[in-house]
Structure 1
Amino acid sequence: MNGGVSGLGEAEAFSMVDVLKGEAVDLLRELVKIDTVVPPGRGYGEMVEFLEPIFSELGFKAERVTVPEEKVRAIPLPLEGRRVNLVARREADRPPLTIYAHMDVVPVEEKWSVPPFEGVVRDERIYGRGVADMKGFIAAVIVALRVMHELGLKPNYDLTCVMCTDEEVGVYPGVYYLTDNGYVRGDVICGEMVHGVIGVGFAGSVHFKVTVKGRSAHTAMWWTAVNAIENALPVLEEVLKLRERVTARRSEVPTIPTPLGDRLTPVFSVNVISGGVKDNVIPSECKFIVDRRYIPEEDEEQVISEFVEAVEAGKAKSKALSVDVDALRVYKPFKTSPEAPIVRRLAEAVKHVTGSQPAFIGVAGSTDMGYVAQKGRDVAIMGVGDVASNFHGADESIKIEDMLTYAKELIHLLCFQRT
């Protein structure tokens, strides 16, 4: 165990976290005000400019790492600006550990009851886009590191903190590049999800875009045309037959109970369909997009091949001139065990600080940690949100207490936990 160079104990460190409550809230409010909405994601440079001196002040060596443009071009969205990631490292000749957060947030769609980019505090909650996913975790990490720095507490790890780009859009987010180039070291703690729940499984994600081509004509000249919408129907029918087979599969990963049970299941949803330009013009094109979330036990290549086979079966029943499939590999699946060392250490820290054992569940959402895990890193995933946080929705919020509690758990894990 580590009592710090001045002999101060854990109780003093936890007390200091509470003293820094106002500073933590102010910090999170500043993070929320920085526009890192993706797409377009043009605000990464501003966020790094804000965070870099903070980490330097806390004794870390900070480095900016930009994802090469040719990698970014794989993301089929209207992105703007350089994809600048921050890597902050503090070496102490100890085992390596990486703390991960993404800087980007999703756009605001619905009307909010408060301004979404101001960090409004109400009833001991702070409201703002990204406070739960996942700028609140960034604030918790900085508070923990500040307490450690002020009290002279020495971590039991060589710490690397990575603040990353484009998690919310996937395909090739910043942490992929950092992982591929050796910046991610040792086990990883990721601040996604809710507090007190450790994620042990996430779905992989492939987006399928199907384009059905026909031939247009005036409706009165119907016999000269090939109606793309009507000839997309046999294709859709075969795709939906595949959905019935796919959604019968089950993972070993436990999840919150749904109408399909308490095990993680694949998700297969036709989310976008478009076709036609005018009511008296027979359409020459129809497109639909399927969001396919696959469980960790499924194979990505098989997921793609079985979808293509279903489309081909539908095409054989259709008079369409052509049917094309574009598969976009968005995220890799993630699976871990409650017995993985870093998961056990995070769970013990939660129990130590709160007195309650965390839950271990999987969700059908996706994360860039699947790629990191496939590259050989053990990952523990837990965030600062709760069931009322409304991730990605209107009035996204977190309890301020949960942010401070997570800071204490990090201090315990990094400095006081037996290794």
Structure 2
Amino acid sequence: MRNARSFDISYDGMHADLASLIGFDTCFPPAANYPGFCDLLERMAADLGGTARRIDVPSNLWAADGVTGARTNLLLRPDLGPADAPEALIYFHTDTAPVGDEWTRPPLSLTREGDRLFGRGTADMKGCIAAVLAALRSLKDAGTPLAFRPVLAFCTDEEGGLYPGIRYLAETMDLPEVLLNLNGGAAPRIWGGCFGSLDLAVTGQGVAVHSGRPDLGVNALEAMVPLLTALTTLKTQVEARTSAMPPPPDDDPLRARLNVTAIRAGDKGSALPGRCRIVLNRRYMPEEDVSEVRAELEKTIAAALTGTALVDWNIAEIGHLPPVSDPSGPWTDRWTQARAEATDTPVTAFTTYGSGTSSDFGWVQKAGIRHMLLGGLMRPEANVHGPDEFTTVQDIEALARSVALFLRADFKTSPGERSQSLPNMENTQ
């Protein structure tokens, strides 16, 4: 009889791995040392045996302001599973959001307080790396027969950038049919898809001069104020649009979103800023066409800035993640039931819903691979991308158990144990 809690998964080992991962700065931007992080990962996984392959994204695809260093992706194939078994790709992104302000614990060190583990990347998603390595060690040490050969994909630039690593892999090589994306949440959820995300940077060029003689220059920041006003008006229109994608339980319909996320201009009181850069983010629904989304933004920007005192202005696309639509497939039941058993949660508690957030797996779908699974450590209260990000000991251990169960050859799904919202995919090809 199966028992998820019989796995000998070492929390001490997970804690040590996570401390090392958090201590290595991979904040994007600039995420400047992916090769060094790959060195760390290879050392951590050395006891699993197998092979390692590094794949760099060509610089002409990702080059942008503030982004430096090789974009090195790592594929690890541990010496686990029978040679004739299908591969199961387990995905991680290795960059994190910037540290940001208002932390009350050291952001690039692992801090444990009770059952909470604090640090940038604990939930998104270095904690997932530690959990999976612990799961694979437990399976290897026990000599457990596996149904799949795991492939660990450590990928670049999910947190931003023009060309995420998983996109490059999906477009240049054949990926396994079983794709487990651990950049998701810990709640009992079946992935119903997510929105797309488009980042634009608008740069206005003025003339920098002494603030005592503003008549001799052009204040780029002040000249960009009409754009902020126009975007605020457009924001109201955009956010009135709702999606048919199922929302989280007890939540309002998912809405398109428009936000100004960054403004940079000037650095002191005695000089007018000669350059102003505004970054905006548009979360667009699967029902929307990205070319129309982009055109609406460009029209609004042009109308606001044409005729201003700016010497010049330009628009640059600095990030794009397409939406994910209906990713369910033949392995959805197995993953759902593995998670249910690992967390002592009834399968019927797992519901299908989408998200207004975005995933680099939108590029995987555009490359022709529809089916994918989602799990992870994120929760609404975990301050992902904010100060004092954390995960919990319970969640990281449950994720390790979920992955171990999913991979085990003796884990059999039960057709009678299916969420009411989960479609029967047994005959899906």
> Which TM-score applies when normalising by structure 1?
0.83
Distance across 1 between alignment mates of 2:136 and 2:220: 59
Query: Contact 2:192 / 2:325 at 8 angstroms: preserved in 1?
Result: yes
Aligned residue pairs: how many? 404
1:32 is aligned, of 19, 22, 30, to: 22
Distance across 1 between alignment mates of 2:105 and 2:218: 50
- 1:350 and 2:342 are equivalent in the alignment: no
Greater mean deviation of Cα atoms: 320-329 or 24-33: 320-329
The match for 1:84 is 72
Distance across 2 between alignment mates of 1:97 and 1:267: 34
Q: How does 1:194-273 map to 2 (within 5 A)?
A: 194-196=185-187, 197-212=189-204, 232-256=224-248, 262-273=252-263
- 1:41 and 2:31 are equivalent in the alignment: yes
1:302 is aligned, of 292, 295, 306, to: 292
1:380 is aligned, of 373, 379, 382, to: 373
Query: Contact 1:200 / 1:381 at 8 angstroms: preserved in 2?
Result: no
CA deviation after TM superposition for structure 1 residue 400, in Å: 0.9
The match for 1:16 is 7
Query: Contact 1:201 / 1:334 at 8 angstroms: preserved in 2?
Result: yes
Which residue identity does 1:34 align to in structure 2?
A: F
Query: Contact 1:385 / 1:402 at 8 angstroms: preserved in 2?
Result: no
Cα RMSD, aligned residues only: 3.2
Distance across 2 between alignment mates of 1:104 and 1:28: 14
Change (3 A) 1:53 1:221: closer
The match for 1:4 is none
1:365 is aligned, of 349, 357, 361, to: 357
CA deviation after TM superposition for structure 1 residue 162, in Å: 0.5
CA deviation after TM superposition for structure 1 residue 282, in Å: 7.6
Change (3 A) 1:320 1:401: closer
2:89 is aligned, of 85, 93, 98, to: 98
SS at match of 1:40: coil
Distance across 1 between alignment mates of 2:104 and 2:276: 38
Which residue identity does 1:83 align to in structure 2?
A: R
Greater mean deviation of Cα atoms: 357-366 or 160-169: 357-366
Query: Contact 1:29 / 1:118 at 8 angstroms: preserved in 2?
Result: yes
The match for 1:408 is 401
SS at match of 1:85: strand
The superposition leaves residues 121-166 of structure 1 with CA deviations (integer Å, 9 ceiling, x where unpaired) of 2212222221101111111111211121122222212322111222
The match for 1:66 is 56
Which residue identity does 1:209 align to in structure 2?
A: A
Q: Which has the higher helix share?
A: 1
SS at match of 2:395: helix
- 1:180 and 2:175 are equivalent in the alignment: no
Q: What percentage of aligned pairs have identical amino acids?
A: 30
CA deviation after TM superposition for structure 1 residue 246, in Å: 1.7
- 1:110 and 2:105 are equivalent in the alignment: no
Distance across 1 between alignment mates of 2:227 and 2:304: 4
SS at match of 2:237: helix
Distance across 2 between alignment mates of 1:218 and 1:407: 59
SS at match of 1:271: strand
The match for 1:331 is 321
Q: Which runs of 5+ in 2 are unaligned?
A: 414-425
> Which TM-score applies when normalising by structure 2?
0.82
